[in-house]
Structure formats: structure tokens, C-alpha cells
Amino acid sequence: MNKTCAIVITMMGLAPISVAFSAPHWTHEEQAEWGAIEDTSQSAVPLMYPYAECTIGAHQSPVDLSNQSKAKTVNAPRFNYVRDATDFFNSGHAAQVNTSSDYKGGISIGADFYPLIQYHFHAPAEHVIGKTTYPGELHFVHIREDGRIAVVGVLLEEGDKPSRTVDLILRNTPTTQETHNTTSGITLNPASLLPKEWKNFYTYAGSLTTPPCSEGVSWYVLEKPLIVTPKQIHKLKSLYENNNRLPQNLNGRVVTGNH
């Protein structure tokens, strides 16, 4: 993993990998104030306000996807996920799985390949569709070496059939914050967390939904949800509940898609 990735990942609240960088603490409860959180080790603006973009950014995520423009031809993400050893990680903000540093899986959008770096859960969902808020949302975070980011969102819907992969993640994620479990011996293919149909999606230009809320993120939220059981949602919420950022103003952005 190169330095750019390491910096981005550290900023996203994960364990520092190779760069010493300590970001100020934040919580979902205080999300309205993220932009005002001060880094007391800094004395100059803007370094004092490392999460300013959360407040002043005009292209923030998540959003309400219901104001979708007419279908148009856009490149669909093509999934090239492969099986991987697991690093189950309690990030302090979500249940997460980090991929291996030499992981070859990712998505292709047009001619561009975006490697999968990690995936994690929110409960309830962050993206809403009109008045509908799903009970959970899974984010597949892809970061290129040049720093460009594409995130695929999969909404979670309650149904009869449990997701075996969700079960494995919930059972093996440490309950202690900022703790890894790399010794389970379990391998997973993240493709097993995609809904059966994933051809239709919403897409728009947004941001990370957690501090530092960096913009320039290409979002692809799949139209079909992944079915999980109420028990699985309950278990997910016992790890983290209300770790969702509320919908942000579109500010003239267009949500589009292929359907």
C-alpha cells in the first residue's frame, strides 16, 4: 500500500498503517459540529479545523436519492472481488473488514480500476430514498493509488433469509473499539455481500460520510438491497447504532442512474 492510501485510510478513522497522523476524536452524536472540531496540536487555520469540509463543503454525502434525474447512459461498476484473508476491525465508528495489502479485488468503472480497501456497516442507512430509511447500509470503499475514491453502497433490508457473510463478520468483529481480529483463519469474498441483482444503481458526486468528509468521491448506491434478518440488524446495532450521518443538501447536484 502506498503512502497516499495510508494517509487517506488513517484520516478515515482506521488504524494508522505507515504514517504518523493523529486526527481529533469525533462521534456521530456531534455530527452537526464536525466542522468546528479543533486540532489543538495545530495553531494555524486551516490546520486547526481538520474537518472543516464537513460543514463548508457543498458536495457532501449522504443524500436523498429520490430526486433522481432521468436515466442516462453511465458506466456501471463492474465487480471483480476475490476471496481474501480477513482483518475484522472495530474501527471505533463501525464494524469493518480491511482487505489485505496485496488484495487484487476491486471495481472497474469504464477503463479505471479501483482497488477495494475496506468495507463497513452503518445502522440505520445513510442514503435515504424519499421518506424511506433502510435499517442498514454497507459501504465498499475503493481507493486508487492516485487518491481517487469510489464507494459502493448496499442498502440492507430485513427479510427471512440471513446473510451468512454478515453473520461471519458480526461474530468475528471485536467488541472493543479500535481493535483488529486477524487470527480467525476465515476467508471471505466480498462479492457474497452483493444483492442478487446489482445491475441498477444510483450515482452522484459526493464525499466521505465521516470526518474529514473529503469530497471528490464517486458514489454508486445499488438499487436492490441485501436481505438480512431482523436478528442480524439487531446484532449490528449492538456493535454500533446510529452511526449514520444524516442526508446532506444536494446543492444542485444531480443523482442519476441506469434505470
The residues assigned a catalytic role are 93
Residue nearest to Zn ion (CB): 139
8-state DSSP, 229: -
| Min separation Cβ 120 and Zn ion, Å | 6
For Zn ion, give the closer residue by CB, 139 or 180. Answer: 139
Distance CA 48, CA 38 (A): 5
For Zn ion, give the closer residue by CB, 139 or 142. Answer: 139
Chain residues binding Zn ion by CB under 5 A are: 139
How buried is 217 (Cβ within 10 angstroms: 0-12 exposed, 13-18 middle, 19+ buried)? buried
For Zn ion, give the closer residue by CB, 26 or 43. Answer: 26
Q: Kindly state the cell numbers that stand for 93.
A: 465508528
For Zn ion, give the closer residue by CB, 52 or 138. Answer: 138
| Min separation Cβ 217 and Zn ion, Å | 10
| Min separation Cβ 208 and Zn ion, Å | 8
| Min separation Cβ 183 and Zn ion, Å | 25
Is the CB of residue 88 less than 8 Å from the CB of residue 168?
Answer: no
| Min separation Cβ 160 and Zn ion, Å | 26
- Residue carrying C-alpha cell 447536484: 253
Which residues share a beta bridge with 153? 139, 221
Pairing label, strands 179-181, 84-85: unpaired
Is the CB of residue 180 less than 8 Å from the CB of residue 25?
Answer: no
For Zn ion, give the closer residue by CB, 61 or 86. Answer: 61
HSE (CB half, 13 Å, CA atoms) of 255? 26
164-172 vs 230-239: helix axis angle to the nearest 10? 30
